[in-house]
Structure 1
Amino acid sequence: MKLNYLVAVVCTALLLTSCVSSKKFKKSQADYAQLQTRYVTLEGTLADCNNQKAGLEREKADLNKRITDLNKEIENIKQNYTQAVMQLENLSVISKQQAESIKQSLQNIGAKDAYIQTLQQQMAYKDSLNMVLVMNLKGAIGNIEDEDINIKVDKGVVYIDISDKLLFKSGSYTITDRAKEVLGKVALVLKNQPDIEFMVEGHTDNVPFRGNAMLVDNWDLSVKRATTVVRLLQKEYGLDPAKMAAAGRSEYHPLGSNDTNEGKAVNRRTRIVILPELDQFFKLLEPQK
């Protein structure tokens, strides 16, 4: 009985001892596996660090080379600067000899620039006065809205175009009564400026003129109309013949198309071209009495 009890106790003790050893073993295995994983991870990290170290060392080597190259460039720049200073010192005598000439050249450039600016200002001022001049002449000569009288200013030259239907009958160079009224007003403007020179131009359309004993073609007609106007301004309104000129342009300076009746009407005109000097130009701005 006692023997059986003893055997039972021994068996129980052995069983308990076997269970404890098995748990420790399994735990040890788990710890080992964990350490193995950690070791592999650390090996990878170490490899990465080694790669980064190698890259940094290469970058350091590149930077050192760049610093060396930059130092060489700086040295070259210093040498070139020194050479340039020496060359300028050698040229200093020439520069002194040329200084006055250079100064004069700069003054001339400045004077020309100022002259150009003055001309531009005068041109802008004159352009702004063109409309005033045209309105004054238009008001003195006739109705501002009269389409048969056209006045313009171009590059300081005054052009007065008068339709031939106001001045002459068709195919004729005889002055009409209406023409004498219009030309009398033109004469008033011109007489107030006795030093102004002007030209009277005759213009026609392209319809062939039927010649007669006095006239052969449109050339003759245009010239005859111009001389008729000049003669009237001289004899009836007392303008100085030395300040006048007469010219015929025939059909060869049209303002409109000779393919239409309207264009032909525009082309049949007498033009007074006034060529004032600059001071005379501004006097024309004064209202006519």
Structure 2
Amino acid sequence: MKYTITLLLSILMLASSCVTKKVYQDLENKYADLKKENRRIQDETDDCVKSKADLDMAYNAIKDELNTTRLERDKNMADYTSTSNNLKALQASYAALEKNSNDALEANMSKNRELLKQLGDKEKALTAEQNRLDKVKNDLQASSQRLAELESLMAAKDANMKKLKETLSNALNSFEGKGLTVQQKNGKVYVSMENKLLFSSGSWAVGSEGRRAVVEVGKVLAANPDISVLIEGHTDDDAYGGTGPIADNWDLSTKRATVIVNILGENKSINRQNLTAAGRSEYAPLASNSTAEGKAKNRRIEIILTPKLDEISKMLNQL
């Protein structure tokens, strides 16, 4: 382009001396147009150069980015390969674990079924045992209640016997020191009368003083109809030396007890079904028969007062 312009300029200069003004003017105009075109082309060239520089920069940037991307791709490919290998290893391990887990699970399920069966059996046994314990507990509570009632009843019996003993002591107070004693022991009341108060030696006839004492006992018994009365006759170990219907100390002790029963029976308020006569002869002594004092204590009538225990016995059988 520069060469063409230079050539035209040269032609114009050569021709200016020999061309017309019109031609010259045309050449001037063409030159101006060519000059404008030259500037335009130069500007385009500059733009192209600049664009080329920009493109080169962009190309280099893209090239760098491509290299970086390739590096990242290679790295990612290596990571992928490693990860893929790990995945395959994990899958193989998982498959092995799953197989082992299924086998273990099946074994555990079988074991669990057996344990559940054993647990069910234990639960049934526990339920049965709990039912038995509940029954025992209920029975125990019922027995405890009956025991409490029995204790209350026995306490009431003891209180009644204590009161009975006090009543007898008061009623027989005038015979104190005359061979008569009143004691409470083993839940019973014992009225002991020595023979010197009741009988002459070898006799079963009761003297007036002794009769009066027995009558006083009868009055107390008449006021306590729920008392069982056992009259026991006792002797010392001296052989019976009398004559008549009495053969020995057994007969004598029994005869004396029977006489006391008859005197008590004279009180119509006493239920004779509550009275029992018994002879103990010499076989239940209070003291040694080696002394006169001991023999005197052994020759006696014992009136043993016992509360009727039918209700208590019934409650004991229910425990």
TM-score range, shorter chain: 0.5 to 0.7
Alignment of 1:116-265 (within 5 A): 116-120=147-151, 123=154, 127=158, 130-143=161-174, 145-146=176-177, 148-235=179-266, 239-265=270-296
Fraction of identical pairs, as percent: 35
Quote how far apart the aligned CAs of 1:165 are.
0.8
Output the amino acid matched with 1:274: L
Whole-angstrom CA distance in 1 between matches of 2:201 and 2:229: 26
Report the TM-score when normalising by structure 1.
0.58
Whole-angstrom CA distance in 1 between matches of 2:225 and 2:161: 21
Output the amino acid matched with 2:253: S
- Per-residue CA deviation, residues 127-169 of structure 1 (Å, 9 max, x unaligned), is 5665443222111133484362222233333221111111111
Whole-angstrom CA distance in 1 between matches of 2:295 and 2:265: 29
What is the DSSP-based 3-state SS (H/G/I as helix, E as strand, rest coil) of the residue aligned with 2:170?
Answer: helix
- Per-residue CA deviation, residues 193-213 of structure 1 (Å, 9 max, x unaligned), is 345332221111111110302
Quote how far apart the aligned CAs of 1:173 are.
0.9
Whole-angstrom CA distance in 2 between matches of 1:261 and 1:173: 20
Question: Structure 1 114/142 Cα, relative in aligned 2: closer, same or farther at 3 Å?
Answer: same
Question: Structure 1 219/109 Cα, relative in aligned 2: closer, same or farther at 3 Å?
Answer: same
What is the DSSP-based 3-state SS (H/G/I as helix, E as strand, rest coil) of the residue aligned with 1:264?
Answer: helix
Any conservation in 2 of the 1:187–1:237 contact (CA below 8 Å)?
no
What is the DSSP-based 3-state SS (H/G/I as helix, E as strand, rest coil) of the residue aligned with 1:197?
Answer: strand
> Matched residue pairs, number?
199
Output the amino acid matched with 1:141: L
Larger Rg: 2
Question: Structure 1 205/85 Cα, relative in aligned 2: closer, same or farther at 3 Å?
Answer: farther
Any conservation in 2 of the 1:151–1:158 contact (CA below 8 Å)?
yes
Question: Structure 1 193/98 Cα, relative in aligned 2: closer, same or farther at 3 Å?
Answer: same
Quote how far apart the aligned CAs of 1:177 are.
0.7
Q: Where does structure 1 lack aligned partners over 5 or more consecutive residues?
A: 1-82, 281-289
Any conservation in 2 of the 1:151–1:160 contact (CA below 8 Å)?
yes
**Aligned-residue RMSD, C-alpha:** 3.3
